[in-house]
Amino acid sequence: MSIDDLFKKIASGSVQTAGKPEYIVAGLGNPGREYEETRHNAGFLAIDFVAEKLGVKINRAKYNALCAEVKIGDKNVLLMKPQTYMNLSGTSICEAAAFYKIPTDRILVLCDDITQNPGKLRIRKSGSAGGHNGLKNIIEYGGSDKFPRIRMGVGAKPTPEYDLAAWVTGKLSAEDKKAIAARFADIEKAIPLILSSEMEKAMCLYNG
């Protein structure tokens, strides 16, 4: 398709362009090649999958994050990958939310969950951080835990004595990565339901 054809399609309304973001969908993780495909970066992996399906790349540097503006259904959405490292995820996400005047309950977070086996999803409307430092920082800076999240199982520590930081920043095995990636299509389907306030439907269809 030529650039002229693309402009014609945009003018005719057959291609949707994103307006001012009304929602944020943020995938949590740590920046840097050394953290690629680690357990803590499940959120990055999932949101990259969603962006690819939407035909965009999350590569615009803004709000201490990599961002992309998209339409999901009829919603204007800012996709985010905070580059502040996991424990300061809230500083980035809440900066963007404040700029666009997006309330906390319109921030959807994708993150890892060590309390669930790889391939399991837990979609929740709100709740505590549950020991997750990224969620904890968002709650701290946003002043509320009333935001939806999709938590992806990455597996528990092999022993209680195993260092937690070493576990979450450890590489996913090929088997675990395959199990997690197998749910990305479900996450993609759940997101528009959650943004449209159909949380119960999303939970019924994709939890577990």
The string of DSSP codes covering 127-185 is ---TT-HHHHHHHHHHT---S-EEEEE----SSTTS-HHHHHTSBPPHHHHHHHHTTHH
Is residue 108 over pLDDT 70? yes
Per-residue pLDDT of 142-200, as tens digits, reads: 999 999 999 999 999 999 999 999 999 999 999 999 999 999 999 999 999 999 999 99
Determine whether domain 16-206 maps to CATH 3.40.50.1470: yes
How sure is the predictor about 15, in pLDDT bands with cuts at 50, 70 and 90? very low
User: Which of the residues are catalytic?
Assistant: 40
pTM recorded for the entire structure: 0.90
Tell me the C-alpha distance between 50 and 53, whole Å: 5
What pLDDT is recorded for position 23? 98
pLDDT at 19: 80
In the chain, what are the domain boundaries? 16-206
pLDDT of residue 1 exceeding 70, the answer is no
Q: Kindly state the percentage of the chain with pLDDT values over 70.
A: 91
Higher pLDDT residue, 48 or 9?
48
Q: How far is it, in rounded angstroms, from Cα 129 to Cα 6?
A: 44
CB neighbour burial string for 41-59, b if at least 16 within 10 angstroms, e if fewer: bbbbbbbbbbbeebebebe
Average pLDDT, the chain: 92
Over residues 66-78, the pLDDT tens digits come to 999 999 999 999 9
- Going along 73-119, which residue ranges are E strands? 75-82, 107-113
Residue 7 has pLDDT above 50, yes or no: no
More confident residue, 3 or 31: 31
Give the model's pLDDT for residue 18.
63
